[in-house]
Amino acid sequence: MQITNQTTEAATLEELGRRLRQARLNQGISQAELAARAGVSELTVSKMESGALGQARNFLRVLRALGLLANLDAAVPRAVSSPIAESDRGGRPRKRSPRSGARKDVDEWSWGEDDQ
């Protein structure tokens, strides 16, 4: 199954669990051995493989123990700046996001005390 942005969280967790289990089996590692390598409990590995991934830190430890941690780079690629936008900023990379809701065409609000 391919995981897309439309895949439900439950289905995504189940698929990730299946993939973890298959990666472990492909490497000929028992749940107990993987748990020891990752520094998590065997119950944690079992829960992850059933789709209950639990804490992200444990998930990352298991991925590292399976040699799959670097694959997250493909899942969440580094953002690439638009060459045109960078050119508009004089070649400088963006350091902040623009202020949301700020409008320059609206007069500053006041209590009206100065109008008297």
For the chain, domains (ranges, CATH) are: 9-75 (1.10.260.40)
pLDDT greater than 90 at residue 99 = no
Q: Tens digit of pLDDT for each residue in 15-29?
A: 888 888 888 888 888
Look up residue 91 and give its two tokens.
């070649």
Helix (H, G, I), strand (E, B) or coil at 35: helix
pLDDT greater than 60 at residue 80 = yes
Q: Token pair 């109008």 is at which residue? A: 115
User: Is the sign of the CA dihedral 79, 82, 88, 90 positive or negative?
Assistant: positive
Q: What is the dihedral of CA 19, 25, 30, 34, to 10 degrees?
A: -50
Confidence (pLDDT) at 103: 53
Average pLDDT, whole number, for the chain?
Answer: 76
* pTM score: 0.58
